[in-house]
């Protein structure tokens, strides 16, 4: 009996040790963002701080990437738990559009929330003489990394405007900060950026040289033929020297996770996002456009069950 009792005690202790270890196992949340001079990165940093404070035992990290397309492929490969991506890229990923950077359909993607809109922002040095989309012919322009969300936006907009890359003097595939430095050095005429309003790279450029802000008229937006692209305005005085509002295109960003992220973790990521919107807005003003009432609307992929639970609790589903 004593031997049996000893074995029973040892078994109980082993069970307790395993249970304790399981409960003590840290939760990892790697947040996939974009370049450090864009908007995804500071918002990712803000979310990592919110999650670190709000989820017991969590370990957060923020990864700078080439943004939407890379983020979605990394998620599919299990190399992140949360990512920001453009809505049209998410739709292409779900459908496996190879020309958009997805060799096969990405089946593990699940939505946490529709976030804030990206605005297509085309800026040119005043000395380039570029004032309209048509003026880009023969000029040098940067359109983001190849097959990035930004570059896919550029292709769609130029096609709708009757332009091709061949019409340009030279097309470069560069990130935001690098594009701005080349414009400062008179080695580039213009750049197309897909980002939240008030992005650091354009603020920096507008503070050191006069710029022209290129309109994308509503009739061009209509010709794109993709409901993810909506006519919008860049408000006047968003940047130095931008006295007038500028017609453009807006595309909703989506916070995306993986299907195999535990339901409770996805629930906490969703809950803490909306309970800390004011704090997140301090990370970047673009986050102030994230609204609970819009978060579960018109998503190109299914909600994660953890996020769905939160929206049902709040009565927005």
pLDDT band at residue 147 under the 50/70/90 scheme: confident
Report d(CA 228, CA 90) in Å as an integer.
10
266-308 confidence digits (pLDDT tens): 999 999 999 999 999 999 999 999 999 999 998 999 999 999 9
Answer whether 82's CB lies under 8 Å from 31's CB. Answer: yes
CATH fourth-level superfamily of 118-251: Periplasmic binding protein-like II (3.40.190.10)
**pLDDT value at residue 191:** 97
Assigned token pair, 176: 């935001």
Residue 220 has pLDDT above 50, yes or no: yes
**pLDDT value at residue 16:** 42
Residue 28 has pLDDT above 50, yes or no: yes
Answer whether 140's CB lies under 8 Å from 172's CB. Answer: yes
Cβ neighbour number for residue 233 with a 10 Å cutoff: 14
Q: Residues 6 or more apart from 275 whose CB is under 8 A from it?
A: none
Q: Which of 98, 74, 97 is nearest to 85 (CA)?
A: 74
**What are the two backbone dihedrals, phi and then psi, of residue 6, each rounded to the nearest 5 degrees?**
-65, -45
Q: Where are the domains of the chain?
A: 7-116+253-314, 118-251
105-126 confidence digits (pLDDT tens): 999 999 999 999 999 999 999 9
Report d(CA 105, CA 96) in Å as an integer.
4
H helix intervals, the chain: 2-24, 40-54, 68-76, 87-95, 149-160, 176-184, 200-208, 218-224, 263-275, 277-283, 305-314
**pLDDT value at residue 24:** 53
Answer whether 185's CB lies under 8 Å from 172's CB. Answer: no
Assigned token pair, 58: 């969590």
235-259 confidence digits (pLDDT tens): 999 999 999 999 999 999 999 999 9
**Helix, strand, coil percentages, rounded to 5, for the chain:** 45, 20, 35
CATH code of the domain occupying 7-116+253-314: 3.40.190.10
**pLDDT value at residue 38:** 86
Pairing mode of beta strands 82-86, 246-258: antiparallel
Q: Which of 209, 277, 215 is nearest to 246 (CA)?
A: 215
Domains 7-116+253-314 and 118-251 share a fold: yes
pLDDT band at residue 17 under the 50/70/90 scheme: very low
- How many angstroms separate the Cα of 88 from the Cα of each of 37, 82, 132, 293? 22, 17, 25, 21
Report d(CA 52, CA 58) in Å as an integer.
6
**pLDDT value at residue 228:** 85
């Amino acid at each position: 009996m004593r031997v049996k009792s000893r074995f029973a005690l040892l078994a109980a202790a082993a069970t307790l040790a395993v249970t304790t270890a399981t409960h003590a196992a840290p939760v990892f949340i790697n947040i996939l963002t974009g370049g450090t001079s864009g908007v995804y990165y500071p918002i990712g940093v803000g979310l990592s701080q919110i999650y670190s404070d709000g989820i017991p035992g969590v370990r957060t990290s923020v990864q700078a990437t080439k943004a939407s397309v890379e983020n979605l492929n990394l998620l599919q490969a299990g190399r992140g738990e949360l990512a920001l991506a453009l809505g049209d890229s998410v739709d292409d990923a779900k459908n496996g559009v190879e020309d958009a950077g997805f060799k096969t359909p990405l089946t593990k993607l699940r939505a946490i929330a529709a976030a804030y809109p990206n605005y297509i922002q085309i800026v040119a040095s005043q000395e380039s003489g570029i004032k309209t989309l048509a003026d880009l012919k023969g000029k040098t322009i940067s359109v983001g990394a190849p097959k990035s969300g930004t570059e896919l936006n550029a292709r769609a907009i130029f096609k709708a405007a009757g332009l091709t890359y061949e019409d340009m003097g030279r097309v470069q595939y560069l990130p935001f900060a690098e594009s701005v430095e080349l414009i400062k050095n008179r080695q580039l005429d213009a750049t197309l950026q897909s980002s939240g309003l008030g992005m650091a790279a354009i603020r920096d450029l507008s503070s050191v040289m006069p710029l022209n802000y290129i309109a994308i008229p509503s009739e061009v937006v209509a010709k794109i033929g993709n409901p993810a692209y909506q006519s919008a305005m860049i408000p006047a005085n968003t940047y130095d020297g931008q006295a007038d509002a500028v017609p453009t295109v807006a595309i909703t960003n989506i916070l995306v996770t993986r299907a195999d992220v535990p339901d409770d973790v996805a629930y906490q990521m969703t809950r803490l996002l909306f309970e800390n919107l004011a704090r997140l807005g301090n990370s970047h003003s673009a986050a102030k456009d994230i609204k609970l009432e819009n978060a579960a609307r018109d998503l190109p992929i299914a909600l994660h069950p953890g996020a769905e639970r939160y929206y049902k609790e709040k009565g927005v589903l």
